[in-house]
A and B are shown apart, each in its own frame.
Chain A
């Protein structure tokens, strides 16, 4: 393996970077530039923002987002399995069952623990006594 063999990767890198640069530059040159105050506002679901955004978001947002990502990624594994499941045979079935069991079991646990509840009260039942008092 010589350095020349890595050349395609290098070309790929250059192409990728070039594409981004070209796209950004092209839009700058070709688009009409007519700013209005509305256009410069932060975008928030099309609703006009009435107050400054609060500095701290509840951690719930992140929790849900993280759970979402976990289940999202799970699907990727299932795609891979689904594309060759006939060839994998019963082994594949068993493996994917074990896999989905653990994912679902996690879902059951977080659900029962109240991670999907928006209501803090219910979740706090599960905290250790000292933490509950602090919360």
Chain B
């Protein structure tokens, strides 16, 4: 019998998050402390997880530079990877989590004694998605996906008194289970075809053998694309997104959407590009098709929304399409960069939504943003930066991100996709500009808006990141490009 060789370092960040979740719950039931105390526990857990992630990053870079062994990066019975890609994804997740919790802090405070549950769920969701980005084994991917997703389903229904929140949670749960089932079915078919669960082993399988009748494998790939496409809300598997983005408490939506996108795209990139790269002639056209449909459909539908959350939902569908052009281009670093900067913008945007229409409220009509520039100039300015960033205006991080993935797709021979993407970008520009116009060019009405400090910080960080990475993208680009998968 084998004794598995164990590198605990590989799961220490997740372990830290999970223990943090446990600690929050126990502290809550034992002492019933003020919200700040729980916040400190969570901050501690996140700090520990981040610290271990940094250690992992150094290990990964050393290994690549030749100071260590590449084999060390495949840890935990080959279940978990510690390569740059995984660590970058983890890091992005952790930062997003920290900012997401800050953004939703007012909502969490308002949850009364259930706030510990919300915090624990957020930490567990991040732990799950963190497993997902670093998994080498498709079953581990699924496990992480489920741990993360189930926590998100509950978070969506966290404001139990609101029927829209319940509805959102139920819809998300039903459709999400559907997608998970399809994904795991795809995994099973891949196993049936290759006899492997491990992504790296699948890659060696395809580089060693030529499969003459790959029907089962292709169906497996298709189902995995569908399952993960759902998680990143790519069209036509996006139908849940507007309802969930609108119904779930505003304080959480940004976080929920952002971490699901990061983890989903990390998994897509790793499975398709790393694991199934040799079959790309088969899946590239389909992914390109999904990408084009998401970009165009998402932008068009975003254009006609009267509710800002639905608009953000559809624009995130479009963004899923934009990021997918990077998958088509085969560039993992472009994908990572894009989702990392987009995650921040999304969390920041929903912090604004939460500030304008209340953290637990679920409707946020575009009208509420009329004249926001006079009611709260800081909020409006920050939101404008984020919107322009998402639109991809030059000198924002969104432009660098878009440019990166587009040029990858272009040089991969998908010129038509890039042209569609550029056209969709123009459409998307109109979408975001509508909000800006609403904020700046309408008569002010209503009193000055009271914005919680936490929301201000989040907005400041997100806006600053959008601009700094737009002007000096070098730092993050370097990180992302040295974060390649094994």
Hey, which bits of chain A sit against chain B, CB under 8 A?
Answer: 1, 84, 87-89, 91, 98, 101-102, 105, 108-109, 112-113, 125-131, 134
12 examples of A-B residue contacts, CB within 8 angstroms: A87-B1, A87-B3, A91-B4, A105-B25, A108-B29, A112-B30, A113-B29, A127-B113, A127-B114, A128-B110, A131-B161, A134-B161
- In the complex, residue of chain B having the shortest beta-carbon distance to the beta carbon of A126: B113
**A113 CA / B29 CA spacing, docked (Å):** 7
In the complex, whether B486 has a CB less than 8 A from a CB of chain A is: no
Beyond the given A108-B29, A109-B26, please list 19 additional residue pairs across the A-B interface where CB-CB is below 8 A.
A1-B192, A89-B3, A91-B3, A91-B4, A102-B18, A105-B22, A108-B26, A112-B30, A113-B29, A127-B112, A127-B113, A128-B110, A128-B112, A128-B114, A128-B160, A129-B112, A130-B161, A131-B161, A134-B161
In the complex, whether B111 has a CB less than 8 A from a CB of chain A is: yes
**A127 CA / B160 CA spacing, docked (Å):** 10
**A129 CA / B111 CA spacing, docked (Å):** 9
In the complex, whether B6 has a CB less than 8 A from a CB of chain A is: yes
B114 partner residues in chain A, CB cutoff 8 A: 126-128
Whether A131 lies near B160 (C-beta < 8 A) is yes
**A112 CA / B30 CA spacing, docked (Å):** 8
**A113 CA / B114 CA spacing, docked (Å):** 10
A108 partner residues in chain B, CB cutoff 8 A: 26, 29
**A77 CA / B4 CA spacing, docked (Å):** 18
The listed residue (A1, A84, A105) touching B1 by CB distance below 8 A is: A84
- In the complex, residue of chain B having the shortest beta-carbon distance to the beta carbon of A86: B1
In the complex, whether B15 has a CB less than 8 A from a CB of chain A is: yes
B113 CB, min distance to chain A CBs, angstroms: 5
A69 CB, min distance to chain B CBs, angstroms: 16
List the 7 shortest-distance A-B pairs measured between CB atoms, nearest first: A112-B29, A128-B112, A87-B1, A105-B22, A126-B113, A109-B25, A130-B161
**A121 CA / B342 CA spacing, docked (Å):** 46
A129 partner residues in chain B, CB cutoff 8 A: 112
A130 partner residues in chain B, CB cutoff 8 A: 161
B342 CB, min distance to chain A CBs, angstroms: 32
Interface size band for B: 10 to 19
**A126 CA / B116 CA spacing, docked (Å):** 11
A128 partner residues in chain B, CB cutoff 8 A: 110-114, 160-161
- In the complex, residue of chain B having the shortest beta-carbon distance to the beta carbon of A91: B6
B31 CB, min distance to chain A CBs, angstroms: 11
A21 CB, min distance to chain B CBs, angstroms: 29
B112, B114, B160: which has the most chain A beta carbons within 10 Å?
B112
The listed residue (B1, B3, B4, B15) touching A98 by CB distance below 8 A is: B15
- In the complex, residue of chain B having the shortest beta-carbon distance to the beta carbon of A130: B161
Residue-wise, chain B 5-27 has the 8 Å CB interface mask toward A (1 for contact) of 01000000001001000100110
- In the complex, residue of chain B having the shortest beta-carbon distance to the beta carbon of A89: B3
A88 partner residues in chain B, CB cutoff 8 A: 3-4
- In the complex, residue of chain A having the shortest beta-carbon distance to the beta carbon of B77: A91
Whether A125 lies near B113 (C-beta < 8 A) is yes
B112 partner residues in chain A, CB cutoff 8 A: 127-129
Whether A101 lies near B3 (C-beta < 8 A) is no
**A19 CA / B94 CA spacing, docked (Å):** 54
- In the complex, residue of chain A having the shortest beta-carbon distance to the beta carbon of B25: A109
B1 partner residues in chain A, CB cutoff 8 A: 84, 87
- In the complex, residue of chain A having the shortest beta-carbon distance to the beta carbon of B18: A102
B110 partner residues in chain A, CB cutoff 8 A: 128
**A126 CA / B6 CA spacing, docked (Å):** 41
- In the complex, residue of chain B having the shortest beta-carbon distance to the beta carbon of A87: B1
- In the complex, residue of chain B having the shortest beta-carbon distance to the beta carbon of A112: B29
- In the complex, residue of chain A having the shortest beta-carbon distance to the beta carbon of B120: A109
The listed residue (B3, B26, B160, B192) touching A105 by CB distance below 8 A is: B26
Whether A102 lies near B22 (C-beta < 8 A) is yes
- In the complex, residue of chain B having the shortest beta-carbon distance to the beta carbon of A84: B1
**A108 CA / B6 CA spacing, docked (Å):** 30
Residue-wise, chain B 95-112 has the 8 Å CB interface mask toward A (1 for contact) of 000000000000000111
B3 partner residues in chain A, CB cutoff 8 A: 87-89, 91
- In the complex, residue of chain A having the shortest beta-carbon distance to the beta carbon of B2: A87
- In the complex, residue of chain B having the shortest beta-carbon distance to the beta carbon of A92: B3
B452 CB, min distance to chain A CBs, angstroms: 19
A131 partner residues in chain B, CB cutoff 8 A: 160-161
- In the complex, residue of chain A having the shortest beta-carbon distance to the beta carbon of B3: A89
Whether A101 lies near B22 (C-beta < 8 A) is yes
Whether B161 lies near A109 (C-beta < 8 A) is no
B153 CB, min distance to chain A CBs, angstroms: 16
Chain B residues numbered 331-390 whose CB sits less than 8 Å from any CB in chain A: none
- In the complex, residue of chain A having the shortest beta-carbon distance to the beta carbon of B4: A91
Chain B residues numbered 271-322 whose CB sits less than 8 Å from any CB in chain A: none
**A84 CA / B2 CA spacing, docked (Å):** 11
A109 partner residues in chain B, CB cutoff 8 A: 25-26, 29
**A127 CA / B15 CA spacing, docked (Å):** 29
**A129 CA / B114 CA spacing, docked (Å):** 10
**A126 CA / B114 CA spacing, docked (Å):** 7
Chain B residues numbered 22-45 whose CB sits less than 8 Å from any CB in chain A: 22, 25-26, 29-30
Chain B residues numbered 415-472 whose CB sits less than 8 Å from any CB in chain A: none
A22 CB, min distance to chain B CBs, angstroms: 32
